[in-house]
Structures are given as structure tokens and as C-alpha cells.
Amino acid sequence: MHTDDFDFQLPPELIAQAPLPQRDASRLLHVRRPSGQVQHRSFRDLPALLRKGDVLVFNDSRVIPARLIGKKKGTGGKAELLLIRPSTDVETAAALEAQASGTVWTCLGQSSKGFRPGMELEFDAGLTATVIESVGGGEYRVRFTSPLATLQDAIERAGRLPLPPYITRDVSKSDAERYQTVFSKQAGSVAAPTAGLHFTEAMIEALKEQGVEVRFVSLEVGPGTFLPVREGPIAEHKMHEERARISAETWDAIVTAKGQGRRVIAVGTTVTRTLEGSPLAATLARSDGQAQSFATSIFIHPGFTFRVIDALITNFHLPKSTLVMLVSALLGRDQTLAAYAEAIRERYRFFSYGDAMFIESDP
């Protein structure tokens, strides 16, 4: 299959630029597979669609203020970095030396004339950065230093919330709350696990009371979620690695549910990648009490065999993106594009602050 097989025309006015006043006020497109039957609902209807014994899995990762805007030392030229992940795979002598004397991150870098090794950058709160090397694709390894107690403290003060590029307004005060899920805990993502944004604490408690088992995983969402897929065969696309963690309690609950014929429902594509990318996904073996911490670059597209999840709650995604390809792997390409066309006709709101869909099997 080719990238163009996942294209569709989206009116720009359907790209949600801000969240609704209430999290659970979004609309919900209920889609069954393989029939493709759709129903238009409110997200508040979700509890009525779930069953006692369902295992509902959330990503509890928290978005960090990963966007750093500063200047080049000496020239004063504008410089911008987007933190991706701490670098643990340094290889060159320069990077190894820097790793020993400070904190090294892999970042996306942007400036009018690019960055050179040795260039120093200055940000708020006394945070400084030295470019160590370019690793290609607009990425750089950078060593940070700060007068504050920890680098995390400096990033919290100097950084800005990295809203997705299709949100064209400036970050507002409300984004600090609304671009985080109510259950976010594990800091490390540069984008929110947006399917979880619709849930309120009251809804989660109500689901527990009706017998839905609520579990959590952590996947640090990277900027690769926004990167376009190159034109051509999709199988040639390479995903960025993302760090993930599944507790022994969560994994064993999933294995038990699968063995008893109960459903595992992923809240979002990040949960799907975490569960299906687990080292134990192929066998569904129990964890033996050990948490799984791993890096995954799993690319889920049509032809993929799902071993863990049975249903998916997700937002509406970018044309030709890896995320719409993941949805197509579960629902089928034709049914996915038909569901998206229906959502566009009915004026659903798209992307991070937009509406949701619930994909489950036919009864």
C-alpha cells in the first residue's frame, strides 16, 4: 500500500483549535467492524457501550514543557529546540565526553542558519545548551547545563507546552490543564495521548463502579507522531523509537482477561503501540512479576495482526499519517475512510482537541 491510499480531504475549519468547555462533551462516532456500521453519539454515552469485565487501558504519560525558545550566544539569533528524549545511545567521542559532564538530550532544532557543533544557546531560567553533533533529520545531540538543582526544574521554568503544529494559535493558560489527561503522572511526552483527554475523573470512577477494570501503561509520546510519511510504499516508513513501560499488574490483568474472553480496550494509539509492541505480546505470557520497560518503534498498518487489543477509543487523525494507518489496520482501510467521510459530513471536530471514535467488533 502507498501513502496516497490513506489521503482524504479535510476542511480546515474542522481542525479543532481549542478544547470544548467540558472534557466529556465531545462527540463520539461509534463504529463496528467489519461491517462499518456507524452511530453518532456523545462521549458521555461511552459507559453504556462498555461491559462489566472490560479492561480499559490508559496512557498515564504527562506532557513536559518541551519547547525551548531562546537565542544563540554571541549573535543573539533566534534558536528553538524541541526536546525528544535523553540520549542514551551516544557513540562519538564528543558525545561520550559531554555525557560524562552534563545531561545530553536528542532534540529537534530550528534556527535561521542551522546549528553547528560547539554552538552555545541561551534560554530562560539560566538554562544553557551546547550543540554536540547533528544526527540527521533536523535532530541534534545537545548538552544542557543549569544553575538550578535539576535539569527538570530548569525545563519546567524555561520550557513551553508544545502544542501540535496544526493548532495555529499561541499557547494559553488553559492549555496547561486541558492538554493533559486528568490521570497524567509520568512526565516525558512531547504530545498528549489525546484519546484520554475526553475522560473526566467522575467518568473513570463510574466505569470502575460498573465493573470496568481500569489499568495504565506509560509511553513517552515523541514528535514522530506528527511527522509525515514519505510518498511511496508505506512499508518503507521507519518510526521513531518511544520509551514504554507496562507494570506487572497491568500486563497480568490483560493476560487474565484475554484468557477469560474479556475485552481489552486501548484508549488511544499510544496504548495500542505500547501493548502490541510489548516483548510479551506474541505469546501473551505472564510477566512473572516484572515490569516491562522497553523502547518500541512498532509501525502498525494494514496487514498487522493484533494480538492484544480488541477495541480502540481514538481521535480523528491527519491524512496520510501513521495514526490513520493504525486505525485502518484495525477497522480496514475502506471502512476507515468511509467513517472519516461520515465524520466530515457531520462536521465532527478533528485532531488533538477534537472528537473521538470508538471502534469495536460487530455483536
Predicted TM-score (pTM) of the model is 0.92
pLDDT per position as a tens digit, 130-176: 999 998 888 899 999 988 878 888 999 999 999 998 999 999 999 99
What does the pLDDT average to over 84-88?
A: 79
Question: Which secondary structure element, helix H or strand E, spans residue 292, and what is its range?
Answer: strand 292-296
In a domain, 257, yes or no: yes
Q: Is the pLDDT of residue 92 over 70?
A: no
Residue 262 lies in a domain: yes
Here the CATH number for the domain that contains residue 131 is 2.40.10.240
Q: Which residues pair with 42 in a beta bridge?
A: 27
Mark whether 222 and 177 lie in a shared domain: yes
Residue 201 lies in a domain: yes
Of 97, 126, 158, which residue constitutes the final position of a domain? 158
Predicted pLDDT of residue 89: 58
- Cis, peptide link before residue 34, omega less than 30° from 0: yes
Inside any domain, residue 165: no
- Looking at the DSSP bridge assignments, the partners of residue 134 are 140
Q: What percent of the chain has pLDDT over 90?
A: 79
Mean pLDDT of the chain: 92
Question: Which run of H or of E encompasses 188?
Answer: strand 186-189
Given a contact cutoff of 8 angstroms between Cβ atoms, the answer to whether 140 and 92 are in contact is: no
**236 and 91 co-located in one domain:** no
Considering the domain architecture, whether residues 92 and 207 belong to the same structural domain is answered as no
Residues 147 and 188 in one domain: no
Q: Indicate if 98 and 190 belong to the same structural domain.
A: no
| Residue 80 covered by a domain | yes
Nearest to 268 by CA among 232, 290, 244, 284: 244
Of 134, 158, 182, which marks where a domain is finished?
158
Q: Verify that 118 and 136 share a domain, yes or no.
A: yes
Do residues 120 and 19 both lie within one domain?
no
Query: Do 284 and 195 share a structural domain?
Result: yes
- 97, three cell numbers: 565526553
What CATH number does residue 244 fall under? 3.40.1780.10
pLDDT reported for residue 103: 83
Q: Residue 245: CB partners within 8 Å, gap ≥ 6?
A: 186, 217, 218, 219, 291, 292, 293, 294
Cα–Cα distances in Å, from 140 out to 222, 337, 353?
A: 15, 37, 30
Q: Is the per-residue pLDDT at 272 higher than 70? A: yes
Strands (E), 20-174: 27-33, 38-42, 55-59, 61-63, 67-72, 78-86, 103-111, 120-122, 128-136, 139-145
Instruction: Report if residue 163 sits inside a domain.
Output: no
For residues 300, 301, 302 and 303, what is the CA-based torsion angle, rounded to 10 degrees? -50
CA distances for 331 relative to 4, 22, 224, 310, 356, angstroms: 18, 29, 23, 11, 15
Q: For residue 231, what are the domain limits?
A: 3-63+173-361
Q: What are the backbone dihedrals phi and psi of residue 330, each rounded to the nearest 5 degrees, phi first?
A: -85, -45
Question: Within this chain, do residues 271 and 127 fall inside the same structural domain, yes or no?
Answer: no
Residue 184 domain-assigned? yes
Per-residue confidence (pLDDT) for residue 97, from 0 to 100: 53
Q: What are the angstrom distances between the C-alpha of 41 and each of 26, 60, 120, 312, 335?
A: 9, 26, 52, 16, 18
Residue 168 lies inside a defined structural domain of this protein: no
pLDDT at 39 over 90: yes
98 pLDDT higher than 50: no
Q: Are residues 58 and 72 part of one domain?
A: no
Q: Which of 158, 182, 214 is the last residue of a domain?
A: 158
Pair 270, 356 in one domain: yes
Number of domains making up the chain:
2
189 and 143, same structural domain?
no
